Amino acid sequence: MDIPRPSRCCSVSHREFLPGETFFSVLTEDGGQFFRQDIAAEHWRQPSQPVFGWWKTAAKQAAADLPSKQTSNELLFRHFEQLVRQQNEADAEMLYVLTLLLLRRKWLRYEKETDGGGGNKQIEVYSPQTNLSYQIPAAMPNHDRLEFIQQQLEQIS
């Protein structure tokens, strides 16, 4: 399924979206081909005809306005190293979520899962930046705590 990428302007007013502006996307299908319309929030009306799908989204910031991903990863990795050095049980959930984020961004590599004693699982990860392996307690937070941790990590990056 090939879904068209978002346009940079409203299909109703033909006005260009501002960075961060909310708009709606509508996906229709005709003869096996998908068509996309992006509609500014002020022009949005629920589709009256059957559609394949629709969703609410926001216009991206210009690349020049965003911090470089490299810088963001470096800041997150420095925070990771700090948490590893401290080995504070109160920060175990933050360290675990940060580890998962750095794995996703390929700044860490998953090696294996180990038993940390007392039935506590740990994951072993490797850092190509430092050429070191780290044992990280698998401390998955509950939903509310996870949202709080994500907000803290967004402030770092």
Does residue 46 have a pLDDT over 70?
yes
Of 142, 144, 143, 136, the closest CA to residue 98 belongs to 136
Classified as helix, coil or strand, 66 is: coil
pTM: 0.55
Q: What is the pLDDT of residues 47-72, one digit of tens each?
A: 888 888 889 888 886 555 555 555 68
Structural contact between residues 134 and 124, judged by C-beta atoms closer than 8 angstroms: yes
**Element (DSSP H or E) covering residue 152:** helix 143-156
* Candidate from 3-7, 25-29, 66-70, 124-128 with smallest mean pLDDT: 66-70
- Residue 94's CB: how many other CB atoms inside 10 A? 20
